[in-house]
Amino acid sequence: MTLASPSDFEDNLQPQGWLRYFSFSLDHKVIGLQYLICGFIFYLVGGALAGIIRTELWSPMSDFVSRETYNETLTLHGTIMIFLWIVPVVNGAFGNYLIPFYVGARDMAFPRLNAVAFWLIPPAGILLISSYFIAGAAAQSGWTAYPPLSLTTPAAGQVVWILSVLLLGGSSIFGGINFIATILKLRRPGLKLMMLPLYCWAMLGTSVLVVLSTPVLAGTLILLSFDIIAHTGFFNPTMGGNVVVYQHLFWFYSHPAVYIMVLPAFGLVSEILPIHARKPLFGYTTMVYSIMAIVFLGLIVWAHHMFTSGTPPWMRLFFTIATSFIAVPTGIKFFNWLATLWGGKIALNSAMLFSCAFIVNFVFGGITGVALAQVPFDIHVHDTYFVVGHFHYIVYGGTVFVIFGSLYHWYPKFTGRLLNEDLGRLHFLLTFVGFNLCFAPQHWLGLNGMPRRVAEYDPAFTTLNQLSSVGALLMAISTLPLLINVVVTAINGKKAGDNPWNALTPEWLTSSPPPVENWHGEAPLVTEPYGYGQHLEAKA
Amino acid sequence: MTSTTPLQDSTAIEARQEQAEEAHGDFRLFGLATFLVADGMTFAGFFAAYLTFKAVNPLPEGGIYELELLLPTINTVVLIISSFTFHRAGKECRAGQLGASRLWLGITGALGAIFLAGQMVEYFNLPFGLTDNLFASTFYALTGFHGLHVTLGVICITIVALQTRPGGRISATDHFGLEAAELYWHFVDGIWVVLYGILYLL
Ligand code: HEM
Ligand SMILES: [Cu+2]
């Protein structure tokens, strides 16, 4: 049996116009870019909200916006960044674009489901954001929506919030099903699982987490909406309900969710490093097994978010140990990346700068994570800015850095043009300095007891907060070189050629941008996607 | 190369999709099975919540409700039988006996409807309402969510039964719709058995 030959596809069937990005296109490449652009727009919105937060926190008093608006702002900020930017982009955008290439297919397993999954996102996002403009009616209970807070804050906004998170969860589940089916069922003949580029493994693991944990969040939010709308008492202590059950169910999703946000980034970095260091990925097999170990452990550590919720001692013990164990597979990956770089012919371009910075930031966030897993320490810093610092090092310093690095790396694939390196380095510099300036001080603030999610603070914390706000300003400015870069190069950027990085992974073994059917002929059989510095490179 | 409308674009991609299916066998059932795993996790979350509530949240004075066992037990039997009748319908279909298949599908659908009717009767005779207490709320949430699944199942069975008519979409060789509905129905039945055990017997 063979894959379709190119003559099966009429040349003029390749869609050209930009209008296709607004259509219900079934092409995985179009859908991937739809995710990317849509996600980036939401990133700008979420960033503007972060700007409001940091401006408010410039001074100890609540003077820039009202307290209610502050709470609405931080709720919307968190929800947008997680559900509308990171998850859709690091999974949906790069996953849809790359996975069919990596498995040697011409599309995802279920193209129509794929388009549906994407088109759930814009309405959900608009719904969520619109609630912000109805005065005093937006959700105020944070991205975690803990009851009883979420039961006592304005109901309308909370219900809108639940509705849009349900839509986004549905989108994510459909995406996950599609990735699992594509990776397991759609591989080109002869392509064994252990030959796949690592990003496939990352997406397989992530999708397993999505499919197993997102439905639990959906169920939980349905029960929460019953409490709000029908006045049941599932999570309402005054009616005999139990708030801790909500926390268990919520974190059963939301701890895996942090891996849904970071595992794909692990995968992308594992693609970028070997290409720009001209060395094979170190320890492929251990990489695969550590992804699987992280998936498994990721499902049994959720209660480390609940050490102060009256968890019994045995539970604390179990969850501390299980959480600390995650450091093992994560450490294996970390050292594998270092070993990949070791002695390589490293090209320190923008893609590589962001990827290397990812390693640095992530290891810092990982260390504070392991610290937070220790009960005596966590009781001290739980719900303080230390936690905010921790997860921003992971989610921003980790995943967002990788998204930017991936953009520089794959932009020539998407468009056939290279992004400008000078602007890229400026973007990197501003992001790196701004990011560290913004989030490093938050660890000190947290250690000294500044609670998170409060508009006011002790005046003793002013200096560190202002440092953090300056960092946030730099981060805001850093998007300018990126935007300029994308716009300018789209018009007259340097032509990239088909394979500017001399890469061996399958997406580069076709034209840039690729034809609708992905390859002009048969899909190539790539058995050694990381064979750099070996005999294969001569051919490339 | 000329620019094309999205319509042409999607026909090209559909053609491509058909080729992928030819090359790799039908993976739609695999996709459905993955979805059912996800759906099962929603139920698992509900079950976990219910069991925790039961373990740690005592009901207020006089709040313990005994559930009548007769009707739900009959309902359980009805649903289990319907799994077998659906299985039979699938067998007949694959053997080319579309008429017989349609008959068995009809029986299955009717059993599903009987189950739903039974559920309604039970609801109307219960001594508690949705918001009376934690047990009542969880009871309605669980059975209601499952009832929605049964309703969807009955609708699917009706559609599939119509498709087995001469000239319909389903034939002895091409019967994905039927197989999908069957898988789904077995899943819904399986969930009910667990639910019956946890809610009525435990
Ligand atoms: C390296 C292993 C990691 C460990 C051991 C770890 C541990 C922890 C612990 C114990 C907390 C709870 C702190 C508290 O609330 O008192 C926490 C919070 C958090 N972590 Fe991690 N973490 C790790 C990696 C990650 C990753 C990879 C991500 C995201 C991609 C992440 C995102 C978060 C988030 C979002 C929170 C705060 C949630 C909230 O309360 O709003 N963590 N982490
Ligand atoms: Cu966690």
Q: Are B30 and A214 within 8 A, CB to CB?
A: no
pTM score of the predicted model: 0.92
Asked whether the predicted pLDDT for residue A136 surpasses 80, the reply is no
CB of A209 shorter than 6 A to ligand 1 = no
Measure the CA–CA gap between A379 and A324, rounded to whole angstroms: 16
Would the CB atoms of A232 and B130 count as touching at under 8 Å?
Answer: yes
Over residues A206-218, the mean pLDDT reads 97
Q: Do A516 and B137 touch (CB under 8 A)?
A: no
SS3 A522: coil
SS (H, E, C) A349-392: CHHHHHHHHHHHHHHHHHHHHHHHCCHHHHHHHCCEHHHHHHHH
B45 touches chain A (CB under 8 A): yes
Cα–Cα distance for residue pair A37/B84, rounded to 1 Å: 49
> Which residue has 């069975």 as its token pair?
B157
- pLDDT tens, A53-77? 999 999 999 999 999 999 999 999 9
Per-residue model confidence as pLDDT tens digits over A249-306: 999 999 999 999 999 999 999 999 999 999 999 999 999 999 999 999 999 999 999 9
For A155-172, what is the HEC assignment?
A: HHHHHHHHHHHHHHHHHH
Specify the residue with its C-alpha closest to ligand 1, atom 1.
A366
Q: Which domain holds residue A138?
A: 26-508
Tokens coding A44: 């700008």
> CA-based angle A422:A427:A429, to the nearest 5?
95
Instruction: Kindly report the nearest CA distance between residue B192 and chain A, in angstroms.
Output: 17
pLDDT tens, B123-135?
Answer: 999 888 888 889 8
- Are B175 and B94 in contact by the 8 Å Cβ rule? The answer is yes
Query: Are residues B13 and A27, on separate chains, in Cβ contact within 8 Å?
Result: yes
Distances (CA, A) of A185 to A77, A205, B174: 38, 15, 20
pLDDT tens-digit readout, B149-176: 999 999 999 999 999 988 888 888 888 9
Give the single-character DSSP code of A8: G
Least confident of A47-61, A132-146, A162-176: A132-146
Q: Does ligand 1 come within 6 angstroms of the Cβ of A316?
A: no
Decide: A529 and A506 in contact? Cβ < 8 Å: yes
- Residues 6 or more apart in contact with residue B45 via CB below 8 angstroms: A215, A216, A219, A220, A249, A252
CATH of the domain at A250: 1.20.210.10
Assess whether the C-beta atom of A372 lies below 6 angstroms from ligand 1. yes
Instruction: Tell how far the Cα of A298 is from the centroid of ligand 2, in angstroms.
Output: 8
Task: Decide whether any atom of ligand 1 lies within 6 Å of the A303 Cβ.
Answer: no
At A179 the pLDDT is: 98
Cα gap A296→A62, rounded to integer Å: 43
Copy the structure tokens of residue A225: 């909406």
Residue A381 main-chain phi, psi, to 5 deg: -110, 0
- Closest Cα to residue B86, out of B171, B161, B195? B161
Does the residue A121 lie in any domain?
yes
Distance between CA atoms of residues B111 and A197, nearest Å: 49
Element holding A51 (H helix, E strand): helix A28-56
B131 contacts A230 by C-beta, under 8 angstroms: yes
Dist CA A285 CA A290 (whole Å): 9
Decide: A298 in ligand 1 pocket, CB within 6 A.
no
How many angstroms separate the alpha carbon of residue A258 from the centre of ligand 1?
Answer: 7
So what's the pLDDT on residue A2? 38
One-letter amino acid of A242: N
Kindly state the average pLDDT of the residues B22-44.
89
In a domain, A439, yes or no: yes
Within 8 A by CB and 6+ apart from A313, the residues are none
Is A262 touching ligand 1 by the criterion CB < 6 Å?
A: yes
Contacts of B145 in chain A (CB under 8 A): 222
Give per-residue pLDDT as tens, A77-131.
999 999 999 999 999 999 999 999 999 999 999 999 999 999 999 999 999 999 8
Arithmetic mean of pLDDT, B62-73? 82
Ligand 1 contacts CB of residue A261 (under 6 A)? yes
Tell me, yes or no, if B12 comes closer than 8 A to chain A by beta carbon.
Answer: yes
Looking at chain A, which residue has its C-alpha nearest residue B25? A185
DSSP A282-328: TTHHHHHHHHHHHHHHHTT-GGGG-TTTT--HHHHHHHHHHHHHHHH
In whole angstroms, give the CA distance from residue B188 to residue B85. 14
Chain-wide mean pLDDT for chain B? 88
Phi, psi of A495 (to 5 degrees): -65, 135
**Per-residue pLDDT averaged across A138-163, rounded?**
94
Please choose, from the candidates A538, A529, A531, the residue with its C-alpha nearest in 3D space to the C-alpha of residue A191. Answer: A529
Q: Tell me, using a 6 A CB cutoff, whether residue A103 lines ligand 1.
A: no
**Nearest CA to B70 among B121, B5, B113, B4?**
B121
Share of chain A above pLDDT 90, in %: 85
Nearest CA distance, A486 vs chain B (angstrom): 24
For A118-166, give the secondary structure using H, E and C: HHCHHHHHHHHHHHHCCCCCCCCCCCCCCCCHHHHCCHHHHHHHHHHHH
Has residue A517 been placed in a domain?
no
Torsion angle of alpha carbons B123, B129, B135, B140, nearest 10°? 40
Domains and CATH numbers, chain B: 27-201 (1.20.120.80)
Distance of alpha carbon A187 from alpha carbon A184, whole angstroms: 7
Residue A126 lies in a domain: yes
Give A232→chain B minimum CA distance, Å: 5
pLDDT band at A320, cuts 50/70/90? very high
Measure the CA–CA gap between A295 and A306, rounded to whole angstroms: 20
| CA A294 – CA A288 distance, rounded (Å) | 10
Q: Is residue A529 part of a domain?
A: no
Cβ separation of B12 and A516 shorter than 8 Å?
A: yes
> A201-210, A397-406, B122-131 — which is least confidently predicted?
B122-131
Tokens linked to A509: 């073994």
Bridge partners (DSSP) listed for residue A495: A417
Q: Is the pLDDT of residue A407 over 60?
A: yes
Question: Which distant-in-sequence residues (6+ apart) come within 8 Å of A429 by Cβ?
Answer: none
Residue A514 within any structural domain of the chain: no
For residue B3, the chain A residues in CB contact (below 8 A) are 15-17
Determine the distance in angstroms separating the CA of A178 from the nearest CA of chain B, rounded to an integer.
7
Within-domain flag for A528: no
The band of A33, judged by pLDDT with boundaries at 50, 70 and 90, is very high
| pLDDT band with cut points at 50, 70 and 90 for residue A521 | confident
pLDDT at B121 over 70: yes
CB distance A405 to A268 below 8 Å: yes
CA of A251 to the centre of ligand 1 (A): 11
Domain tally, chain A = 1
With a cut of 60, say whether residue A8 has pLDDT above it: no
Mean pLDDT of the B34-54 span: 96
Mutate to test the interface with B, among A177, A209, A299 (most CBs of B within 10 A): A177
On whether residue A207 sits in a domain, the answer given is yes
Nearest Cβ partner of B49 from A20, A177, A223? Answer: A223
Q: Are the beta carbons of A14 and B31 separated by less than 8 Å?
A: no
Q: What is the DSSP string of A434-494?
A: HHHHHHHHHHHHHHTTPBSS-S---GGGHHHHHHHHHHHHHHHHHHHHHHHHHHHHHHHPP
Contact between A395 and A364 under an 8 Å Cβ cutoff? The reply is: no
**What are the Cα distances from residue A136, in Å, to A73, A124, A349, A407?**
11, 20, 47, 38
Residue A539 has pLDDT above 60, yes or no: no
Those residues with Cβ within 8 angstroms of residue A352's Cβ, 6 or more apart along the chain or in another chain: A272, A273, A276, A277, A346, A405
> Given this model, what pLDDT does residue B21 score?
59
Other C-beta atoms lying within 10 Å of the C-beta of residue B39: 21
Nearest to A405 by CA among A271, A213, A230, A242: A271
Mean pLDDT, residues A20-38 taken together: 90
Residues 6 or more apart whose Cβ sits within 8 Å of residue A505: A101, A102, A197, A271, A275, A526, A529
Q: Which two tokens stand for residue A289?
A: 């097994």
Please tell me the least confidently modeled range out of A358-367, A397-406, B31-40, B168-177.
Answer: B168-177
- Look up the ipTM and state it: 0.91
Q: Does B137 touch chain A (CB under 8 A)?
A: yes
Q: Which residues of B touch A234 (CB under 8 A)?
A: 49, 53, 134, 137-138, 141
Q: What is the SS3 assignment for A433?
A: helix
Q: Which of A532, A536, A529 is nearest to A199 (CA)?
A: A529
Contact indicator for A257, A298 with CB cutoff of 8 Å: no
Ligand having the closest approach to the CA of A213:
2
